[in-house]
């Protein structure tokens, strides 16, 4: 006969729960986060299809309804062959879903997004959702990291498109920032074309300082692919990408022709961070919220 | 051509009269022979508002140069603007302030002025929320200025950022926002909804500290402001004008931009509100019945939220810019043109329907103190020459007057209602005994500075606002008011108009003359 | 003799408890209390005398017993079946016409025992001898099977527990002496009787405490939380600086010193708060509105309840009980102020109460009188209290011609 007097409930509890580790034993393994987070599961064919489905029926339509994007030069995306590196300015968390919403399904379903390892992969659950829903991969934006670069290179060679925000973070005030050279470096290494995208309007919808989303219109200008030239230095290629983004940014505010005139205003990156610069870049759009749409948010104070 | 306002004498064929009753309406039949003061219809608005703004900025009145020529790249430019208390209800986008400020900023950007700061001229009002600022300024202005910290809200308790400009010849201290005073140019963008707003009051009150404001926001001043809507007979304004001269003499350069609105107050779904009852067509009557029946079945908090989400289709009737006093004369003329109606003789009883909104409960609750202030402060004072009601007469206000408070916006009101009004309702006693302790209460100051609370002293100002009426009247009755809360205010409540009139008769005598101030929209009586 | 008796009957106790809020009358009828013909209690010793009650008050603790809502803690401290009623003014059956109030505590001396360490020091309210000696278990007369109680035609009391009533006092004033003695004890419990005082609750305990505190303390202000109109009215006449509603206490406490209020935290508050309700909510609000380091005196009998004691811990609040009466230590100032002759300043609470009764005239708190056979409406009235415009409800036994006619 058993000498254990514990009631059956307590026993069942022991069986059902994970046993605790005695204090003198080795502590359980700490799960990898940040750049060490392993996202390979999210590129498994099953997960990829699930993500494609979720993006097509959920994330992309929702993003389109919030951002109401106008796409300029969409034809530049026709006939592009994987893998491509998409390089965009960064105004908001909405940029990633917006880019996915803008890309044609064929490209969209095979795309991974470089995301700040310190923000999107700081906890395992966050990393799981970032990589499952958006195909995010951890990129170290604090210092140049070999692990990030190697992962990006390897995925490109495997045929995945890559979205990168070389500004290294969202703009604090709506103005463009200097590009880091990581994207140009990776492109030179794998010799694949870089497609510049200029996104305008997401800062007003959900910028870094906003407390909630204020739906509104956006514009996405798609540039012609830039291919690294033979023997071109990384810095020079980065300069070319910067120039191309600058032209696209001016095109948002003016028109195709004016944007390509030499010596125009609205340089990329922004020459100063004064309000005057922000004022000039916003004068193409009078951003009055207009009539509220149904449903009205009764009692909302913020 | 909009029709002017007029006085109607009630006869047997007169349909019942619409009264505001908080978040609902009442239809009341006034006794035969009563007078109803109907407001003028909304004036035709300016078609091209942006053009009118440009014209005003380029052709200022008074001894001032056009705005563009006052700007240079190395200057300090400050733009102050009226806060959330104007206009009422909030204006449908685009708010006129956003259009004016955009035009000003456009010129500043062209001139390359980098040091620009916007200040919400709150005085002792609550800070505006982000969505209120976005609404008032427009997203373009907000997004360009707010992230850089160039959009600020006046903080009357931030002594480090206040500066004493001087004293008037009557010893009134003028202490203003340091940034505004030390700027090379202060542009003030106002909305002159009623004749009380604007002029020197914009800067001298809107950007001042408690120590400065208390010189004109007090019982003595308010009792001698007859009325505070009539700038030339208002001690409140005389004091502000004296302060304005001190500010001017101290070398503060003010470029005042005043705007006036018509009285197109309610959107199409509430069209019956702005029509005269005998002109209601089938649709108006139908929508009145549907609205008032639906409101009866709606819980008060929900009804409040529905009403607070109303955005008014105001039309702009004028924009004027330049030197403060010259601008304000033009503005006053435009306000009077829209709102003034001539009335002959006072009456024994004045009836008023109080709406759901006053200057201090935008996106919030109209508590009993605000009911008092709206009725005996604002509406009672909507007169020139003489009050609509005789000395010793009675005012009947229609409002549910529920003892409900917004704890976030009106924390000091709760204490005022529970601790001051239980002791006395005499403005002079309240002022001498309690004001200081509320005004200096560090907790109210903390909430005023960091949260969205009205300053601790603000409920006192509400009480002083009605001091002239309390002094003038023989009695106040709140029709449909919560009895307990009404008694706390020192008034009587009545459940029907007949009861209210009966109670009033016991004060003014039998067979009284009655005048009803029909609102909406706003109307001002010119009483002879 | 006729007496209201509480019997041991678990089913009736439960019925009373379940029905008390919605069917109060039914709860009394089906409850443990019933009007019976019983034998008069035996005199345990020659020092005991027989008395006839004239007025007998219904105390909050009696109501709680009848409706079985008091703490189970008291179950063992009583002896069933007993006749309730410990607020009594009566006359000696052998010497009719002489009016006495009874000090109901059944202490060592009463029980015929040598004094315990508390009795020896005068703190009779803490007496250890609750269950031993001549009598059965019971803290007070009115909870003990051996003595009978005030809700009857006759009971017995120890000679030493009788206090003669001065002629100047009405019967109503006299019946309020026992509650006043409790109030005097409560009022003398705070370590410092200065600054700002708040009293939560304006039933008999609250109002009597207010009256006692206004003469025994030197407070700058006394704030009384009163729920019902009659309570508010009486609180004003009894010397409250301000009378407020339940939800206004925090606001008043905050305004007192213009203190900071962050959520439920208050940086300052009343110097002392006396809770005369005894509910979880009232004790919590007392703890939250007293100043950090301040004192809360619990005067109302608290039932079992759940309390959030985080503010007690964080604000280092002292919470004190105040039960009944014993011997008080009066400082010279207070003694002089209330003009009580005292030599060594140690003085029985009852003596102070008798002294103050003439000045305070708490007879005005007696709002309702009932005959013994009207005990159902009487208890209903007492249970609803201020809600039905009642403060102190008493049984009026003066009408009965003879006690021995049964």
pLDDT band at A256 (very low <50, low <70, confident <90, very high): confident
ipTM of the complex: 0.77
Chain C contact set for B437 (CB, 8 A): 255, 258
Whole-model pTM over 0.90: no
Q: What are the CA-CA distances from residue B408 to residues B88, B358, B455 (Å)?
A: 21, 17, 12
CATH number of A34-61+68-281: 3.40.1130.10
CB-based contact B198:B328 (threshold 8 Å)? yes
Please, what is the average pLDDT of chain B?
92
The 8-class DSSP code of residue B418 comes to: I
Asked if residue C209 has pLDDT above 70, the reply is yes
Question: Is residue C200 predicted with pLDDT exceeding 90?
Answer: yes
List the single residue in A with minimal CA-CA distance to B141: A279
E strand or H helix that includes residue A119 = helix A117-120
> Is A174–B129 a contact, with Cβ atoms under 8 angstroms apart?
no
Residue C273 pLDDT greater than 70, yes or no: yes
Q: Give the pLDDT band of residue A291 (cuts 50, 70, 90).
A: very low
Closest approach of A43 to chain B, Cα-based (Å): 38
pLDDT for position C71: 80
Which residues of chain B lie closer than 8 angstroms to C232, CB-CB? none
Q: Give the contacts of B171 (CB within 8 A, at least 6 positions apart).
A: none
Q: How far apart are CA B526 and CA B520, in angstroms?
A: 17
Structural domains in chain C, sorted by start: 2-179+348-396 (3.90.180.10), 191-321 (3.40.50.720)
**Pair B448, B456: CB distance under 8 Å:** yes
pLDDT at B138: 87
On average, the pLDDT of chain C sits at 90
In chain B the domains, ranked by start, together with CATH numbers, are 6-41+341-527 (3.90.226.30), 49-261 (3.40.50.11440)
3-state secondary structure of A10: helix
What is the three-class DSSP state of B271?
A: helix
> Contact B143/A273, CB-based, under 8 Å?
no
How far does B414 lie from chain C, in Å, by closest CA? Answer: 8
Q: Which residue has the tokens 């095979």?
A: A110
- Return the half-sphere exposure (C-beta side, CA atoms, 13 A cut-off) of residue A196: 24
Would the pLDDT of C99 be above 60? yes
Regarding predicted confidence, which is higher, A278 or A30? A278
Interval B190-238: pLDDT, tens:
999 999 999 999 999 999 999 999 999 999 999 999 889 998 999 999 9
pLDDT reading at A301 higher than 70: no
pLDDT at position B360 over 50: yes
Per-residue DSSP letters for C309-341?
A: -HHHHHTT-EEEE--S--EEE--HHHHHHTT--
Distance CA A114, CA B165 (A): 56
Q: Is the pLDDT of residue A292 over 60?
A: no
Q: Could C252 and B437 be called an inter-chain contact, meaning their C-beta atoms sit closer than 8 Å?
A: no
For residue A92, give the nearest of A4, A246, A201 by alpha carbon.
Answer: A201
Whole-angstrom Cα Rg for chain C:
21
Q: Is the pLDDT of residue C294 over 60?
A: yes
Task: Give per-residue pLDDT as tens, A244-255.
Answer: 998 898 888 877
Q: Which of B139, B308, B363 sits opposite A287 (nearest CB)?
A: B139
B271-311 pLDDT per residue, tens: 888 889 999 999 999 999 998 899 889 898 899 888 888 88
| Residue A288 confidence (pLDDT) above 90 | no
What percentage of chain B carries pLDDT values higher than 90? Answer: 80
- Assess contact for C150 and C90: CB atoms under 8 A: yes
**Residue A5 pLDDT > 80:** no
Predicted pLDDT at A211? 80
Q: For residue B159, what are its two tokens?
A: 């002594």
Taking the C-alpha atoms of residue C309 and residue C301, their distance in angstroms, rounded to an integer, is: 18
Whether chains A and C touch (3+ CB pairs under 8 A) is answered by: no
Judged against a pLDDT cut of 60, whether residue C366 lies above it is answered with yes
Distance from the Cα of A243 to chain B's closest Cα (Å) equals 24
pLDDT in the model for residue A283: 73
* Cα of A32 to nearest chain B Cα, Å: 36
Q: Which residues of A touch B138 (CB under 8 A)?
A: 286-288
- Reported as a pLDDT band with limits 50, 70 and 90, residue A264 is low
* pLDDT score, position A144: 73
Q: Is the pLDDT of residue C173 over 90?
A: yes
Q: How confident is the model at residue B449 (pLDDT cuts 50, 70, 90)?
A: very high
Q: Is the pLDDT of residue B179 over 70?
A: yes
Confidence of residue C254 (pLDDT cuts 50, 70, 90): very high
Q: Which residues from A are below 8 Å from B143, CB to CB?
A: 174, 203-204, 207, 278, 282, 287
> Which residue is listed with tokens 């007879």?
C363
Which of A105, B270, A98, A123 shows the shortest CA–CA distance to A113? A98
Q: For residue range A67-84, list pLDDT tens digits in order.
A: 899 899 888 888 888 889
CB contact under 8 A, B147 and A285: no
pLDDT higher than threshold 50 for residue C161 = yes
pLDDT score of A29: 66
Averaged pLDDT, C333-346: 82
Q: Is the predicted pLDDT of residue B428 greater than 60, yes or no?
A: yes
Q: Does B105 touch chain A (CB under 8 A)?
A: yes
* pLDDT for res C370: 93
The pLDDT tens digits of the residues spanning A20-65 come to 778 787 766 667 788 888 888 889 899 999 999 999 999 999 999 9
For B524, residues 6+ apart whose C-beta sits below 8 A from its C-beta are B194, B195, B229, B336, B339, B340, B341, B382, B383, B384
Quick one: tokens of C369? Answer: 């009188």
How far is A219 from chain B, CA to nearest CA, in Å? Answer: 16
* Residues A101-142 pLDDT 10s: 999 988 999 999 999 888 888 888 899 999 999 999 998 887
């Amino acid at each position: 006969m058993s000498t254990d007097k514990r009631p059956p409930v307590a026993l069942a509890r022991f069986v059902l729960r994970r046993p605790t580790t005695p204090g003198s034993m080795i502590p359980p393994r700490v799960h990898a986060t940040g750049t060490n987070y392993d996202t390979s599961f999210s590129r498994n064919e099953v997960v990829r299809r699930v993500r494609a489905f979720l993006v097509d029926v959920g994330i992309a339509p929702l993003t389109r309804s919030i951002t109401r994007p106008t796409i300029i030069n969409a034809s530049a995306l026709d006939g592009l062959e994987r893998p491509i590196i998409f390089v965009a300015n960064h105004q908001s968390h909405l940029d990633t879903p917006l880019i996915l919403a803008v890309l044609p399904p064929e490209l969209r379903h095979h795309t991974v997004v470089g995301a700040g390892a310190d923000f999107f992969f700081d906890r395992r659950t966050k990393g799981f959702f970032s990589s499952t829903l958006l195909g995010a991969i951890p990129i170290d934006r604090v210092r140049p990291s070999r692990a990030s670069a190697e992962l990006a290179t390897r995925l490109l060679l495997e045929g995945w498109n890559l979205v990168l925000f070389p500004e290294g973070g969202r703009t604090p005030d709506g103005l463009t920032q200097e590009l880091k050279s990581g994207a140009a470096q990776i492109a030179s290494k794998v010799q694949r074309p870089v497609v510049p995208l200029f996104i305008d309007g997401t800062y007003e919808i959900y910028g870094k300082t906003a407390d909630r989303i204020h739906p509104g219109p956006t514009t996405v200008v798609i540039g012609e692919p830039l291919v690294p030239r033979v023997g071109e230095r990384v810095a020079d290629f980065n300069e070319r990408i910067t120039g191309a983004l600058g032209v696209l940014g001016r095109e948002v505010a003016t028109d195709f022709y004016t944007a390509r005139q030499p010596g125009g205003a609205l340089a990329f990156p922004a020459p100063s961070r004064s309000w005057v610069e922000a004022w000039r870049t916003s004068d193409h759009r009078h951003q009055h919220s207009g009539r509220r749409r149904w449903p009205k948010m009764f009692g909302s104070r913020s | 051509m909009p029709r002017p306002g007029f006085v109607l004498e009630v006869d047997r064929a007169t349909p019942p009269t619409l009264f505001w009753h908080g978040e609902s309406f009442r239809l009341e039949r006034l006794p035969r022979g009563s007078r109803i003061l109907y407001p003028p219809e909304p004036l035709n608005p300016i078609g091209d508002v942006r053009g009118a703004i440009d014209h005003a900025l380029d052709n200022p009145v008074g001894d001032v140069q056009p705005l563009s020529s006052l700007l240079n790249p190395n200057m300090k430019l400050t733009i102050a603007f009226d806060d959330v208390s104007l206009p009422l209800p909030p204006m449908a986008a685009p708010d006129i302030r956003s259009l004016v400020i955009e035009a000003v900023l456009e010129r500043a950007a062209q001139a390359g002025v980098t040091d620009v700061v916007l200040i919400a001229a709150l005085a002792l009002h609550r800070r505006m929320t982000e969505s209120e600022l976005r609404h008032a300024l427009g997203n373009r202005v907000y997004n360009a200025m707010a992230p850089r910290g160039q959009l600020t809200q006046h903080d009357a308790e931030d002594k480090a950022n206040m500066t004493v400009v001087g004293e008037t010849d009557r010893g009134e201290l003028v202490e203003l926002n340091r940034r505004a005073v030390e700027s090379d140019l202060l542009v003030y963008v106002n909305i002159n909804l009623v004749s009380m707003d604007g002029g020197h009051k914009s800067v001298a009150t809107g950007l001042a500290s408690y120590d400065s404001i208390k010189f004109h926001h007090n019982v003595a001043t308010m009792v001698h402001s007859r009325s505070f809507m009539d700038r030339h007979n208002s001690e409140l304004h005389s004091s502000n004008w004296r302060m304005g001269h001190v500010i001017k003499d101290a070398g503060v350069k003010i470029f005042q931009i005043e705007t006036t609105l018509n009285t197109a107050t309610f959107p199409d779904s509430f069209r019956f509100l702005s029509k005269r009852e005998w002109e209601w067509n089938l649709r108006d009557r139908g929508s009145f019945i549907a609205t008032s029946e639906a409101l009866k079945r709606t819980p008060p908090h929900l009804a409040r939220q529905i009403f607070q989400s109303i955005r008014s289709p105001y039309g702009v009737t004028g924009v004027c810019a330049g030197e403060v006093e010259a601008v304000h004369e033009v503005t006053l003329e435009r306000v009077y043109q829209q709102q003034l109606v001539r009335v002959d003789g006072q009456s024994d009883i004045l009836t008023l329907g109080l709406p759901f909104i006053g200057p201090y409960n935008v996106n919030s609750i109209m508590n009993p103190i605000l009911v008092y202030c709206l009725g005996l402060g604002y509406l009672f004072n909507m007169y020139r020459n003489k009050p609509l009601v005789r000395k010793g007469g009675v005012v009947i206000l229609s409002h549910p007057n529920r003892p409900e408070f917004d704890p976030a916006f009106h924390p000091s009101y709760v204490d005022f209602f529970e601790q001051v009004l239980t002791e006395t309702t005499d403005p002079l006693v309240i002022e001498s005994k309690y004001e200081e302790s509320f005004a200096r209460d560090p907790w109210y100051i903390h909430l005023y500075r960091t949260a969205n609370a009205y300053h601790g002293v603000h409920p006192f100002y509400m009480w002083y606002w009605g001091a002239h009426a309390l002094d003038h009247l023989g009695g106040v009755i709140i029709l449909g008011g919560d009895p307990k809360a009404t008694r706390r205010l020192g008034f009587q409540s009545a459940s029907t108009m007949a009861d209210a009139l009966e109670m009033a008769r016991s004060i003014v005598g039998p067979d009284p003359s009655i005048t009803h101030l029909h609102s909406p929209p706003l109307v001002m009586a010119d009483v002879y | 003799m006729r007496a209201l008796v509480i019997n041991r009957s678990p089913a009736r106790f439960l019925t009373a408890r379940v029905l008390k809020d919605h069917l109060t009358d039914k709860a009394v009828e089906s409850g443990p209390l019933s009007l019976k013909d019983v034998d008069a209690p035996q005199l345990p010793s020659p020092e005991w005398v027989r008395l006839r009650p004239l007025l007998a008050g219904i105390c909050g603790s009696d109501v709680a017993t009848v409706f079985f809502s008091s703490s189970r803690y008291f179950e063992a401290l009583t002896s069933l079946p007993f006749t309730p009623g410990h607020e009594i003014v009566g006359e000696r059956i052998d010497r009719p016409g002489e009016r006495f109030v009874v000090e109901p505590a059944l202490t060592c001396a009463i029980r015929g025992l040598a004094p315990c360490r508390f009795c020896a020091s005068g703190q009779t309210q803490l007496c250890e001898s609750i269950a031993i000696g001549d009598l059965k278990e019971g803290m007070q007369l009115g909870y003990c099977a051996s003595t009978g109680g005030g809700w009857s035609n006759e009971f017995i009391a120890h000679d030493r527990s009788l206090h003669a009533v001065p002629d100047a006092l009405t019967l109503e004033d006299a019946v309020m002496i026992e509650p006043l003695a409790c109030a005097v004890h409560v009022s003398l419990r705070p370590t410092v009787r200065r600054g700002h005082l708040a009293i939560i609750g304006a039933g008999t305990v609250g109002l009597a405490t207010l009256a006692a505190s206004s003469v025994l303390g030197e407070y700058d202000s006394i704030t009384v939380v009163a729920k019902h109109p009659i309570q508010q009215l009486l609180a004003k006449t009894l010397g409250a600086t301000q009378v407020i509603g339940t939800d206004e206490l925090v606001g008043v406490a905050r305004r007192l010193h213009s203190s900071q209020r962050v959520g439920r935290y208050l940086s300052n508050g009343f110097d002392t708060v006396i809770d005369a309700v005894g509910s979880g909510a009232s004790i919590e609000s007392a703890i939250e509105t007293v100043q950090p380091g301040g004192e809360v005196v619990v005067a109302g009998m608290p039932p079992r309840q759940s309390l959030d004691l985080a503010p007690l811990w964080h604000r280092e609040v002292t919470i004190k009980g105040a039960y009944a009466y014993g011997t008080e230590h009066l400082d010279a100032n207070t003694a002089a102020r209330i003009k009580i002759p005292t030599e060594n300043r140690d003085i029985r609470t009852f003596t102070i109460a008798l002294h103050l009764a003439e000045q305070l005239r708490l007879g005005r708190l007696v709002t309702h009188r009932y005959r013994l056979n009207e005990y159902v409406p009487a208890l209903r009235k007492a249970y609803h209290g201020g809600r039905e415009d009642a403060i102190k409800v008493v049984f009026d036994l003066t009408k009965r011609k003879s006690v021995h006619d049964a």
